Structure 1
Amino acid sequence: MKTKQLLLALLIACTFFSTSVHAQQKQFKTLIVTTTNGWHHESLHAGVLALKEMANKNFFDAVLHENPNGFTDDYLKQFQAVIFLNTTGDILNAEQQKVMERFIQSGKGFVGIHSASDTEYDWEWYTKMVGHMFHIHPTVQTAKLQVLDKSFPGLKDLDGKLWTEEYYEFSPAKSNDLQVVLSVDESTYNPKVQWGPKKGEGMGKVHPMAWYHNYDGGRAFYTALGHLPTNFSNPAFLDHLYAGILWAATGRK
């Protein structure tokens, strides 16, 4: 009898332990927004899968936003960061824009990937949060990346790395406190391009590729990398991206 009681007690203890481990709260929760009202990047699918795998690996939640009418204060309060993954054009109405503003003002975070800077040009608050807006790009080329801030994590494997990308040229900075962590060496590729009357000549010695800043009570991180689907299977890029997500969601770096 005592043996049966002991086995029963052990079974109950193991069940309790297993349940408590599985119910353990994740580090943080993120919302992935992929809405496009313009160019649809081929890398979107690869990006979603990579973010889901990254979340599983690093013990956080990544939820894909699938309900266009569900972008509300009540829904967003469960998240610590919103990720705009290759979004384009005007994707939020006036009410939803206010929801996003209140989300950041409450101390939460934003992560913009690649064409997140090609999104919501007429929403001034958003353009200041992103920091630079997309202007033009030449054809996809291989160039050399440069790390400008080695104190920000996730960048060591990108320093001096040859990287194939759709290198964006940006408008002048919309905010004056951007902390640029990554740039591209314009001497290693041809930045010149012309689309009708619109021209690109490059951005000079410092051509920013990734940056972060505190913004309106919250945090914003942006990386211009992520055009090609293969980017999202590259460990160097994924380390860079996770460091930005972690900082945006928690403030830790």
Structure 2
Amino acid sequence: MNRFKFLLFFFVFQVALASSAWAQKQFKVLLVTTTKGWHHESVHAGVLALQQLGARNFFDVVLWEDPNGFTDKYLEQFKAVVFLNTTGDIFDENQQKVLERFIQGGKGFVGIHSASDTEYEWPWYTKMVGRMFHIHPTIQTAKLKVLDPKFPGLQGFADDKQWTEELYEFGPEKTTGLNYILSVDETTYNPKVDWGRVKGEGMGKLHPLAWYHNYDGGRAFYTALGHLPTNFSEPAFQNHLLAGIFWAATGKK
């Protein structure tokens, strides 16, 4: 009887260990959607798509909902922070320092679309994003160009992929060492726009839409795609986001 009990205990213990290992996801990312300006209709679609992306690829996507919960202690569980269509000044000085320490500790950042229209007055953040939003023309369809086929997740944009987007024009680089991986061909759409207080003429031969770089001890990835809700159901874009998130969270391509 004692031997039977021992074997039963051993079996249950092994099952518990296996279950615990199976429950342990690859990593967690924190998803921030706060806006103090324009609210993108695609935010809801983006949240669902990223959560499903995590479920399919065995990592957790946690939506940040507590305004007072952005602390060093809370962020310990995450490997990356994702800004999905954020706008304006969304963090106070204490929260800014928390994100700075998070990145300096070797963690990652992913910015999607209007993450480059966020926190203009925070120099550390603008350097992390790399370039900030300047202006955009009306939504148009244009051809995309893969600049670095060695970076994963870009297969769906090969062969001059046509893409319908709110195509951002960016200001100058805020830092050096940006690795551009995706651009748009300005000859395939009209980049000119005039808002009165600001104008856009396009960016010329190199009009980047996505890039990554090592930054202040951590990693940062940015993509300008993601204005339309339908973008997030496109496999090409989902693979693009997965590659960026995986690199930001793990440092692996």
Match of 1:75 in 2: 74
The one-character-per-residue Cα deviations of 1:104-144 (angstroms, maximum 9, x if unpaired) are: 00000000000000000000000000000000000000000
Structure 2: gaps (5+ residues): none
Q: Counterpart of 1:167?
A: 167
SS in 1 for 2:155: coil
User: CA–CA distance in 2 between the matches of 1:9 and 1:188?
Assistant: 70
Counterpart amino acid of 1:60?
Answer: F
Give the distance between the partners of 1:81 and 1:192, measured in 2 at CA.
35
- How many corresponding residue pairs? 249
User: Which residue does the alignment assign to 1:127?
Assistant: 126
Aligned-partner residue type, residue 109 of structure 1: G
Deviation at 1:244, TM superposition (A): 0.4
- Take 1:143 and 1:197, find their aligned partners in 2: how far apart are those partners? 26
With normalisation by structure 2, the TM-score equals: 0.94
Match of 1:248 in 2: 248
SS at structure 2 position matched to 1:157? helix
Q: Residue type of the partner of 1:244?
A: G
Q: State the partner residue of 1:36.
A: 35
Tell me whether 1:17 sits opposite 2:11 in the alignment.
no
RMSD: 1.8
Identity percentage of aligned residues: 70
Task: Please give the alpha-carbon distance, in whole angstroms, between the structure 2 residues aligned to 1:30 and 1:205.
Answer: 35
Gaps of 5+ in 1: none
Deviations 1:66-104 (A, max 9, x none): 001100001011100000000000000001100000000
Q: Which amino acid aligns with 2:81?
A: V
Q: CA deviation at 1:36?
A: 0.3
TM-score (norm. length: structure 1): 0.94
What are the equivalent positions in structure 2 for 1:1-253 lying under 5 Å apart?
A: 13=11, 16-17=14-15, 20-21=18-19, 23-24=21-22, 25-159=24-158, 160-253=160-253
Q: State the SS of the aligned residue for 2:43.
A: helix
CA shift at 1:22, angstroms? 5.2
